[in-house]
Chain A
């Protein structure tokens, strides 16, 4: 493609053969962020909003995240969608552990972020007490635009992470006094 710019490089591709130079980690980050294979861990009503976001009207496929995998071994991003109870918490942790590195976690909906309006014997008060979380998308449920915004923030995060396999320390909620 003479005269075009590869997005990760500063070098114009020119000439018939065409060549480019780039930093490997940027190229890998670019490839990763546009081929997100998500694992939807859907437990509650947020799932409806997740489906609305995933389907044609809002279309996450525009961002390269259109292929959900229903095996954690094939997935890059764990979408935790809906209230997580103490009973299912070990299952969620097992799913997270089965995913291959590099992997990211999106907390979809306020119940997964903090427990939401649940403060009782049954509900986990935020999945970040169990597994590390990269992006929080609060809302009850979040609007599809909000979800897409979270997806773009996740892409930016993936891009900036080093391709060496090292990932930044997981975001975690600071301890607070009750």
Chain B
């Protein structure tokens, strides 16, 4: 299934759940309300037209400083094309960050039998940063969700063992949040350097 059909198939099944969609440069993406996440994910896994049996990646984005800083001069002068090349399909471009929500939890699904992939994005407010855990559907979501908790401080409802996976016990804060000071150090031993 190509990206347009894939997006339409999700929209047909979850008219209320899908907020927006886009397929920036051919990557089919659907933005969901978080209350629909578990239901949509189960459908993607079990419905014969999706058969998304592989959770490729699960991560998050902090949009709190998006667009507030100019690109480093290096990128401006690097010759890297910032505007889309005419050779790359861009009929359905990225609309920008999703409204007031600070975080977006991102899921990448792939269907091994049907060879198609879909990205789900779930906007999450900072005050209530919690989404449903997918570890009951894909065992691989277990550690990925622990990583998102560790790095961004987003909780996963229904996760059996939601504790830090990369950082150590006693580490305070979530280092990939944009408001974590870039030079803050919390060494276990040795000087704070």
Contact = CB atoms under 8 A, between A and B. Distances in A.
Classify chain A: how many residues form its interface, as a range. Answer: 10 to 19
Contacts of A86: 168, 185-188
B70 interface: no
A89 B188 CA distance: 7
Contacts of A121: 167, 175, 180, 184-186
A120 B187 contact: no
Contacts of B191: 129
A124 interface: yes
Given A86-B168, A121-B184, A121-B185, A129 B175 contact: no
Contacts of B182: 120
B173 to A, nearest CB: 9
Contacts of B186: 86, 121
B189 A93 contact: yes
Given A120-B182, A121-B175, A129 B188 contact: no
Nearest to A126: B193
A129 B186 CA distance: 14
Interface in B165-193: 166-168, 175, 180, 182-191, 193
A122 B175 contact: yes
A87 B193 contact: no
Contact of B168 (A87, A93, A129): A87
A158 interface: no
A90 interface: yes
A135 B80 CA distance: 41
Nearest to A93: B189
Contact of A87 (B180, B185, B188): B188
A129 B185 CA distance: 13
- Max count, chain A CB within 10 A of own CB: residue among B166, B175, B180, B185: B185
25 contacts: A86-B185, A86-B188, A87-B166, A87-B168, A89-B187, A89-B188, A89-B189, A89-B190, A90-B189, A93-B189, A120-B175, A120-B182, A121-B175, A121-B180, A121-B184, A121-B185, A122-B166, A122-B167, A122-B175, A124-B187, A124-B190, A125-B193, A126-B193, A129-B190, A129-B191
Given A124-B187, A124-B190, 11 more contacts: A86-B168, A89-B187, A119-B183, A121-B175, A121-B184, A121-B186, A122-B166, A126-B193, A129-B190, A129-B193, A130-B190
User: What 3 pairs across the A-B complex have the smallest Cβ distances?
Assistant: A121-B175, A125-B193, A129-B190
